[in-house]
Amino acid sequence: MLICKVLKPLVSTNRIPGFEHKHLQVVLDGSSKKVAVDAVGCKPDDWVICVGSSAAREAAGSKSYPSDLTIVGIIDHWDPETQQQISGGAK
């Protein structure tokens, strides 16, 4: 799963019916922006866990939901800087 930062909701009026009324969020994965279906109810600046691949469908509510990236959890505490140092020290 990816560790992403929530940027803001995405509005797409003209979309396929399969998306239903679920919320879409723009998330930051490293330096690239992606769109994820919100299955937990998050807000901008939250650090979240995003699941991709075919698991994103079931995570969004049903096996036929057309998602390839779904927010499945909000991380309790995440500090990208500190995390980097721990990783370097463990080598």
Element (H, E) at 59: helix 55-59
Do 46 and 38 contact (CB within 8 A), yes or no?
no
Residues 19-48 that bind its own copies (CB under 8 A): 19, 24, 26, 28, 30, 32-36, 39-41, 44-45
Burial of 56 (C-beta count, 10 Å sphere; 0-12/13-18/19+): buried
Q: Is 89 a residue that touches its own copies (CB under 8 A)?
A: no
Footprint of its own copies on this chain (CB under 8 A)? 1-3, 5, 7-8, 10-16, 18-19, 24, 26, 28, 30, 32-36, 39-41, 44-45, 49, 51-59, 63-70, 72-77, 83, 86-87, 90
